[in-house]
């Protein structure tokens, strides 16, 4: 247990599906205490009636910094179309990072930013080290404010076993993934029922590119920029995007009529030769103990049908509870780790 008073937290986008999940998880959290709920001006000013048993109900606030001034951490479940503006823009009213808040954001807006960590808790928590450079490069430099993002829920699912395999067998060279994603991954109202009941939709806008790009950033490391440069007294660093081995990835994404649970068919080719056998892969996955503690029941992934791939080396099936492992859970674990490491002041 943490030997300090709970940290007051604000939730941006509190009325959406990710926001609701933040509230469910944080309302019983030992370290964080929900202090402010922010949403669009459409909801602002209304009471937030929820099933959780709070002593007193809360009023939803506009996503303006004044309301959040007592908060030590901001969680954001904002949609991508507003997240950029509210989380970091130069408008003084809405500038959460600039105003020195740690922001843990689920939106896709800053995932590709060269200074922003994109962290899957069981995989690359060490990327949190880039926060100090992010702060130093800000103008003016930030003492407490920063932004950390988490990945798309289908990326999150497959990088967990892939990370385990790379730790054991060295770099992966080629990756083909075909996803069958649950409708809960699309938020609410999400996919119209007429499009998906008794149907498969073999397209999810932007998803394939996201998986292909995010996987490289997450499985990649951090390297000194060449030629060498200094930031204060430290070397300027960058995410290397799996530069030690160019990682070829092809993702095909499908939406299926399932409420919860992303099923993913994965084939991989390893750099090393000969590659591990299916049995060695099974043993590596069974033996894998991620660095971060798993966060309660369900927030893991299941791997099955590990077998030879006649084209690449090994193929297997990944099933992830996209609600438990996704968005809100990842943001919160990232924040816990940031607290433990002293990154959150």
Q: Which residues of the chain form contacts with its own copies (CB under 8 A)?
A: 174-176, 178, 180, 183-184, 188-200, 202-203, 212, 248-250, 252, 254, 256-259, 261, 263, 265, 267, 304-305, 309-312, 315, 317, 319
The burial of 105, by beta-carbon neighbours within 10 Å (0-12 exposed, 13-18 middle, 19 or more buried), is given as buried
Choose, from 71, 95, 115, 153, the residue flagged as catalytic: 153
CB atoms closer than 10 angstroms to residue 178: 15
Q: What is the DSSP letter of 142?
A: P
Alpha-carbon distance of 210 to 251, in angstroms, equals: 9
State in angstroms the smallest separation of the CB of 143 from its own copies: 41
Tokens describing residue 144? 């407490």
Q: What are phi and psi of 157, to 5 degrees?
A: -65, -50
Judged by beta carbon, residue 250 or residue 293, the one nearer its own copies is 250
Alpha-carbon distance of 330 to 324, in angstroms, equals: 9
State in angstroms the smallest separation of the CB of 273 from its own copies: 17
Compute the CA torsion angle 82, 158, 251, 201 (nearest 10 deg): -70
Residues 6+ apart with CB under 8 A from 244: 171, 221
Tokens describing residue 16? 């959406």
State in angstroms the smallest separation of the CB of 4 from its own copies: 33
Question: Is 153 designated active site?
Answer: yes
Tokens describing residue 311? 């084209």
Question: Cis (ω within 30 of 0) for the bond into 276?
Answer: no
Question: Is 127 designated active site?
Answer: no
For the stretch 38-43, contacts whose Cβ atoms lie closer than 8 Å and that sit 24 or more positions apart, written own/partner, are: 38/10, 38/11, 38/12, 38/13, 38/14, 38/62, 38/63, 38/64, 38/67, 38/68, 39/12, 39/13, 39/14, 39/15, 39/63, 40/15, 40/82, 43/15
* Euclidean distance between the first and the last CA atom of the chain, given in angstroms as a whole number: 17
Q: What is the DSSP letter of 66?
A: G
Judged by beta carbon, residue 6 or residue 190, the one nearer its own copies is 190
Residues marked active site are found at: 153, 262
């Amino acid at each position: 247990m943490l030997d300090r008073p709970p940290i007051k937290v604000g939730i941006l986008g509190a009325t959406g599906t990710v926001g609701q999940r933040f509230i469910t998880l944080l309302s019983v959290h030992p370290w964080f205490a929900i202090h402010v709920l922010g949403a669009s001006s459409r909801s602002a000013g209304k009471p937030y009636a929820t099933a959780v048993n709070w002593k007193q109900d809360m009023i939803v606030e506009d996503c303006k910094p004044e309301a959040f001034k007592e908060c030590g951490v901001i969680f954001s479940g904002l949609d991508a179309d507003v997240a950029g503006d509210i989380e970091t823009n130069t408008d003084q009213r809405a500038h959460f990072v600039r105003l020195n808040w740690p922001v843990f954001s689920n939106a896709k807006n800053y995932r590709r930013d060269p200074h922003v960590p994109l962290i899957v808790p069981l995989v690359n928590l060490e990327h949190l080290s880039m926060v100090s450079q992010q702060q130093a490069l800000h103008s003016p430099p930030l003492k407490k404010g920063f932004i950390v993002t988490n990945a798309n829920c289908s990326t999150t699912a497959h990088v967990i076993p892939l990370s385990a395999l790379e730790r054991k067998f060295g770099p992966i060279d080629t990756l083909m993934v075909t996803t069958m994603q649950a409708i809960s991954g699309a938020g609410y109202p999400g996919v119209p029922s007429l499009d998906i009941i008794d149907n498969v939709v073999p397209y999810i806008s932007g998803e394939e590119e996201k998986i292909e790009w995010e996987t490289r950033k997450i499985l990649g490391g951090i390297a000194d920029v060449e030629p060498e440069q200094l930031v204060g007294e430290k070397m300027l660093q960058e995410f290397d995007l799996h530069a030690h081995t160019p990682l070829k990835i092809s993702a095909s994404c499908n939406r299926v009529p399932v409420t919860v649970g992303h099923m993913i068919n994965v084939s991989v080719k390893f750099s090393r030769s000969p590659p591990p056998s299916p049995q060695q892969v099974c043993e590596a996955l069974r033996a894998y103990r991620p660095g971060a503690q798993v966060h309660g029941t369900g927030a893991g992934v299941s791997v099955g049908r590990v077998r030879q791939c006649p084209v690449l080396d090994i193929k297997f099936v990944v099933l992830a509870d996209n609600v438990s492992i996704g968005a809100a859970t990842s943001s919160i674990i990232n924040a816990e780790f940031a607290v433990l490491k002293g990154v959150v002041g």
